[in-house]
């Protein structure tokens, strides 16, 4: 396989990963609304303790998720360094 083909395959894989994230985002939005996490069922520090994060951390993660949804759906996105949040909470390294 050539380097060009490897590069193209990686681009296709990334597009597929973004599609899966977009699908997950839609599901998360429905669950968030159904369980009223934004209103009556607010997620607290106590709820998140077993994950080792705070509600402030969680809100930062949700912010990245919301901005990704806006981006993928062609909406205006507030410019911010989402990479800081993503790197802080990644679990693969």
- At residue 12, does pLDDT exceed 90? yes
Annotate 9-39 with DSSP letters as a single string: HHHHHHHHHHHHHHHHHHHHHHHHHHTTTTT
pTM over 0.85: no
Question: What does DSSP assign to residue 77?
Answer: -
Going from N- to C-terminal start, the domains of the chain cover 3-89
Residue pLDDT, tens place only, 51-71: 999 999 999 999 999 999 999
Q: Token match 């679990």: residue?
A: 91
pLDDT of the residue at 61: 92
């Amino acid at each position: 396989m050539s380097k060009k083909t490897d590069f193209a395959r990686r681009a296709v894989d990334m597009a597929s990963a973004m599609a899966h994230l977009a699908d997950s985002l839609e599901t998360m939005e429905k669950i968030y609304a159904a369980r009223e996490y934004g209103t009556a069922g607010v997620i607290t520090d106590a709820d998140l303790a077993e994950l080792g994060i705070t509600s402030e951390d969680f809100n930062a993660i949700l912010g990245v998720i919301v901005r990704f949804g806006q981006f993928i759906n062609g909406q205006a996105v507030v410019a911010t360094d989402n990479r800081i949040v993503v790197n802080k909470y990644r679990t693969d390294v």
